[in-house]
Amino acid sequence: MENQTFTISVYSENNVGLLNRISGIFLKRHINILSLNVSESEIETVSRFIIVVNTTEKWVQNIVGQIEKQIEVIKAFYHIDEETIFLENALFKIESSLLFDERQIQNIIKESNSEIVTVSRDFFVISKSGKRSEIEELYEKLKPFGIMQFVRSGRISISKEKMEISALLEELKQK
């Protein structure tokens, strides 16, 4: 079995310490977490973890099984990239004078389907949503102009197919 990228979705109660225990499961197996995002889910009291790893399917099955043993975890799933719709978000802070002095930056923003979210006297901020490769490509294009600050979010993702958790979450919603 060869390594590939997996997106693990964990639905859980929002309890203190759960993130630490989940990250410990990866630590024990020497598997690096490439991306981690935690947010509310479709149900008000249920949180959703999106964890991206590069490992074998055997290992990801083992990890999901260990995660599901945590008391607060309702259900955990894993998907390959082709089974999900996913994005990352990034912000780039650039010196303001470049926006007006370098026509090429305006073209880069337009061609990359990015947007300017704020402009001040000293800097402007570009926002980009897309696949990691699209964000990395924009980074490389902006790098020669001098990036003052850069930040990228973890992956956010939804499955293409209806997940069995939907019925379970619907029951929770009714309560």
> Higher-confidence residue: 92 or 44?
92
Cα 121 to Cα 150: distance, rounded to the nearest angstrom: 19
Residue 63 has pLDDT above 70, yes or no: yes
Tell me the two tokens of residue 143.
């790098």
Counted residue by residue, the chain has a size of 175
- Residues sharing a CB contact under 8 Å with residue 160, sequence separation 6 or more, in sequence order: 83, 84, 85
Q: What does the pLDDT look like over 135-171, one tens digit per residue?
A: 999 999 999 999 999 999 999 998 888 777 666 666 6
DSSP 122: S
Name residue, tokens 């949180």.
47
